[in-house]
Chains A and B, each alone.
Chain A
Amino acid sequence: MSEKQKMVKVFIMGEAYDVPEGSTIVMAMEYAGYQLKRGVGCREGFCGACATVYREKGDYKLQGGLACQTVVTDGMTLAQIPFVPAEKPIYDIKNLKPDIDTIKALFPTVFRCVACNTCTKACPQEIQVMDYVQALKRGDIARAANLSFDCIRCGLCALRCPSEIVQYNAATLAQRLYGRYLAKKSPELADRIVEIEEGKYDKELEELEKMPREELSKKYYAREIKLK
């Protein structure tokens, strides 16, 4: 922040603080004197640790956002929600089928979805949360996995859901089922593993391992670069 910063007033859990304009919520809290332990992780929008609810001046709406990605506005009132009590079923991914029965058994709550779309509106990643929940209800695991892919598990959707669904835990299951069972397998990968297990590259690798630096360097700079 530059010296001649303009300041804005924010209300952190009701207390007023003047903070530099343009600050994110995390920056604003630190500027105010908080040393955060909860409510912050990656600081870049990838971990979902920093769910925050806020109201802007003159607006009736309670909004949700990521504290590390949301810029404060003058008169904003905010509170962090660093933890969401949520159920997570235990399962062994090796013993599941990628179908609707698995969803029924592990996440019976998704069938309570009333399609109110509150979760989609709450999602700071702009994910079509309701749509992936609906896909799960139909047993369309692939669609659910793809729609929910960018979920960072901030918990904001579950907090607002009138049907007490923990959307993101169900999403994680869908993604894992897709990755393990539904995605087509790569033949090259399987072949390469066989080759390695048969020791096809052992001799050459051992030679390189022992090769003097100069010789290795020559080989390196002479290697052909072939990029797809």
Chain B
Amino acid sequence: MYPEYMMKSIEMVEKTRPQRLELAKKHGKQVFPPMNEKEREIVLNRFHPDYKKESRSEVRVGVNKGEQLTTEVADLLESYSRVDPAIFDLNKADYDTDVLVIGAGSAGMAAAITAGINGSDVLLVTKLRIGDSNSMMAQGGIQAADQKDDSPVLHYLDVMGGGHFDNKPDLAKALVNDGPVAIKWLEELGVMFDKNQDGSMMVKPGGGTCRSRMHSTRDYTGAGICRVLRDEVYNMPDKIKYLEFTSIIELILDDKGQAVGVIAYHLETRQYSIIKARSIIIATGGFGRLHIRGFETTNHYGATADGLVIAYRAGANLMFMDSVQYHPTGAVYPEQILGFLCTEKIRTMGAQPVNIDGDLFVYPLEPRDVEASAFIRECTERKKGIKTPTGKVGIWLDSPLVDQINGEGAIQKYLPAMLRQFKRFDIDIVKYPMLVFPTLHYQNGGIEIDEKGESGIPGLYVAGEAAGGIHGRNRLMGNSQLDLIVFGKRSGYWASERAKIGVKVGKPTMKHVYDYEKEVSALDIPRKKIAPIILPDYIPDHVKVKQKTTEYFGTLI
């Protein structure tokens, strides 16, 4: 339950609720005027964490050398390999496959299934268990322009506008044009989309969308999709083999610069192995566990940007790695769920963000960066946030409106995960609002790809959150889940085609790593600084000092 002093503010929220409900009944979603271009620019410049000077630093090594990247990313890239690659005999492969997929979230699994169906032998390697990923956690929805009043053209405008027009247009086009087919593909695999009586899709709007095109499977949309893909992977044992608790820590190139294999590290037995492949797909997801700017995160335990590190070392170009998505509504109270996601779907179903006095202060469905910045403004400059007993601050997300607008039981029916999450800690979101503040959520940029999902390195494909260009500098809700399927399938298909053609492979080499390390050591960076870090380290310092013979480089080794 909320402490007494917070209940005082909740009383204010309850007082203004009837008027705000009236507004919603009268104006639908438009309960507050959306910002124009100028207003957006101002609030972003002044309050978005990305726009602070110290948020970006010059990266001093590799392809993007000289560019300003997110500070923690630049820092991660200026690092050495986990092992000296010289100790491996690159010609002796422990595994040999047509298509290697790295990472078993939805992007990786969509790729593996597609490549398998296309006739390739696939090896799917993943850090934790299959499906332990950001994909499994998505709640809100997946976009696709399949409604009568909608079209791929309108979807395209939303994608580009949300991304501040920095997106690669061909990728945005592929995303929207493949959208409806992706939904059909999922439904045929057995995904249970929320539907109306007549079979039409039950769609909701999302932040920055001009039409309602958010498809969902309750508020377990990621799981609704990811668990079906996982079951399908299990059902294709002849085509898809998999390794769990195995992290890829380096790419192997040949002397012509093609990606021809990887070095893998088994987390439990600590064995390293060499995997040879005709095509390689990186689907390792995002970077939430880097805790950029000290933010809490919504991301799963293994979201440490590994794919980015190894591709960068091998010479792949990064795009938009100067921008970070903070989700406006991360939980601030209770402490045990700090930073956890409160899905945007709560707002799409009518919940409004209000301040300590119960006043509505922003259009609830601005694009995420704008919405998050407005929350930060409310809590800092305007001092209208609510403080928690441990000194965190947030604003109210007035969830009880959801039932009042959509009918009693709507939360129970369409937001069961949210309801459960808070109930576990004694808060009933049907009756009381949720305290929220922006949380580190999504990697907007990533490794540059083309329409086939291929990076600049021949034979190296990228899909999902690890890829860059599709969403420019800001992704809209529901477009990530869509890109996992669209580019998962595209990369899977083209990687498989490449494997079939049979490209001539040269001599395997790790020269790219040696060269890269030379650049790093020229900066006097200590040898101990290694990446990928694989898992974040949450052991408190007073315990760590006693673990005398254990070395932590992210994961203990």
Residues of A within 8 A of B (CB): 1-2, 22-24, 27, 30-38, 40-47, 49, 69, 71, 88, 90-94, 125-126, 145, 149-150, 152-153, 172-173, 175-180, 183-190, 192-193, 196, 201, 204-205, 208-210, 213, 216-217, 219-221, 223-228
Contact = CB atoms under 8 A, between A and B. Distances in A.
A37 B267 contact: yes
Interface in B137-179: 137, 145-149, 151-154, 156-158, 160-161, 165, 169-170, 173, 176-177
A227 B209 CA distance: 8
A188 B187 CA distance: 14
Given A175-B192, A180-B187, A223 B157 contact: yes
Interface stretch (B3-11, B220-228, B317-325, B440-448): B220-228
B201 A183 contact: no
Given A31-B543, A45-B421, A227-B28, A24 B200 contact: no
Given A47-B129, A188-B201, 19 more contacts: A1-B335, A33-B539, A35-B555, A42-B137, A45-B420, A47-B131, A150-B417, A152-B223, A172-B228, A179-B191, A188-B147, A188-B148, A192-B180, A193-B181, A205-B152, A208-B169, A216-B157, A217-B165, A227-B209
Interface string B536-557: 0111100110110000100110
Interface of B: 28-30, 34, 36-37, 128-129, 131-133, 136-137, 145-149, 151-154, 156-158, 160-161, 165, 169-170, 173, 176-177, 180-181, 183-184, 187-193, 195, 198-201, 203-205, 209-212, 217-218, 220, 222-223, 227-228, 231-232, 234-235, 237, 245, 267-268, 298, 300-302, 335-337, 340-341, 389-391, 416-417, 420-421, 424-425, 535, 537-540, 543-544, 546-547, 552, 555-556
Contacts, number: 236
Contact of A44 (B137, B161, B556): B137
Contact of B547 (A24, A33, A172): A33
B270 to A, nearest CB: 11
A41 B231 contact: no
Contacts of A201: 151-153, 177
B341 A44 contact: yes
A90 B136 contact: no
Contacts of A125: 420
Nearest to B423: A126
A208 B555 contact: no
Given A180-B189, A192-B146, A227 B211 contact: yes
Contacts of A216: 157, 160, 165
A196 B181 contact: yes
Contact of A193 (B184, B193, B537, B556): B184
Given A42-B132, A46-B222, A186 B146 contact: yes
Nearest to B341: A44
A40 B299 CA distance: 13
Contact of A189 (B180, B421, B539): B180
B365 to A, nearest CB: 8
Most buried by A among B145, B189, B190, B234: B190
A205 B200 CA distance: 26
Contacts of B555: 35, 37
Contacts of B302: 41
Nearest to B336: A24
A24 B151 CA distance: 46
Closest 7 CB pairs of A and B: A184-B199, A176-B190, A41-B132, A220-B161, A179-B190, A228-B212, A179-B192
B300 A217 contact: no
A83 B129 CA distance: 10
13 contacts: A22-B335, A33-B546, A35-B556, A43-B301, A92-B235, A94-B188, A149-B217, A180-B188, A183-B195, A205-B156, A208-B153, A220-B157, A224-B210
